[in-house]
């Protein structure tokens, strides 16, 4: 028998966010057990972004770094950010759209890092988290007539700007990855849309999707052809 209460409860429960936080925490436990989250060999074994291995065919390293962290502080900062941003984002976009935005933002950030930071190794969920901020920026642009959405977008735009400025004064920060995550989040959010808020023009969705695909391909070819 159909239970509308159960459906409503499932719709309002951010179980994708909970799942991502739990998976990220479990991966950190695995890092620790295998030799430590600051051990480069462990990070490489579990999927950190490292260009020579990607160029050797390990393309899955564009997504796995989003689940790895270097040190407990790194994990806690990203875990808390994912929890709070994820709950809001998942409620607005819905479960599967939120998951797509998170994963594609992570890929976009790691592709940008692959293209512009070829000599470093990187790991962390910040590429995807910045992508969630980019998704809110898209909402502010697409639904600017909605005062609540516009205000929320402005807050997250300010948060992203503050974080990027802080990154300039911090060592070991993957700036290309963060910028790539924001841009990727904006583009993929505009592609999948936010039906709970309203419809987006199909032409806009197609254009943003194509820009995302061709942009990622161009960045990958930039590094592949330039090695």
Look up the CATH number of the domain holding residue 174: 1.20.1540.10
Beta bridge partners, 49, equal: 122
Maximum CA extent, the chain: 60
Q: Which of 105, 113, 117, 126 is catalytic?
A: 126
> pTM score, two decimals?
0.92
Q: 113 an active-site residue?
A: no
pLDDT tens profile 141-188? 999 888 888 888 888 888 888 888 877 777 778 899 999 999 999 999
Q: Which of 206, 184, 83 is nearest to 137 (CA)?
A: 184
pLDDT tens profile 54-92? 999 999 999 999 999 999 999 999 999 999 999 999 999
Which residue segment(s) compose the domain that 202 sits in?
4-226
Q: Alpha-carbon distance 209 to 15, whole Å?
A: 26
Q: Alpha-carbon distance 131 to 105, whole Å?
A: 5
Domain tally, the chain: 1
Q: 74 an active-site residue?
A: no
Q: Which of 81, 95, 178, 203 is catalytic?
A: 178
């Amino acid at each position: 028998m159909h239970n509308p209460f159960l459906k409503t409860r499932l719709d309002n429960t951010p179980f994708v966010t909970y799942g991502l936080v739990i998976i990220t925490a479990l991966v950190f436990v695995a890092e620790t057990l295998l030799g430590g989250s600051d051990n480069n060999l462990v990070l490489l074994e579990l999927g950190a972004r490292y260009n020579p291995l990607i160029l050797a065919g390990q393309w899955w390293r564009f997504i796995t770094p989003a689940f790895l962290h270097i040190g407990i502080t790194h994990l806690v900062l990203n875990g808390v950010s994912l929890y709070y941003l994820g709950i809001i984002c998942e409620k607005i976009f819905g479960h599967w759209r939120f998951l797509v935005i998170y994963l594609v933002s992570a890929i976009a950030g790691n592709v940008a890092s692959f293209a512009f930071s070829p000599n470093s190794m990187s790991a962390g969920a910040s590429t995807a988290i910045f992508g969630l901020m980019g998704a809110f920026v898209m909402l502010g642009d697409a639904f600017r007539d909605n005062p609540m959405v516009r205000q929320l977008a402005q807050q997250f735009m300010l948060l992203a700007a503050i974080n990027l400025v802080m990154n300039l004064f911090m060592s070991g920060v993957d700036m290309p990855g963060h910028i790539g995550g924001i841009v990727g989040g904006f583009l993929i959010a505009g592609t999948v849309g936010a039906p709970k808020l309203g419809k987006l023009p199909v032409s806009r969705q197609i254009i943003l999707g194509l820009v995302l695909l061709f942009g990622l391909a161009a960045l990958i070819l930039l590094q592949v052809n330039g090695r």
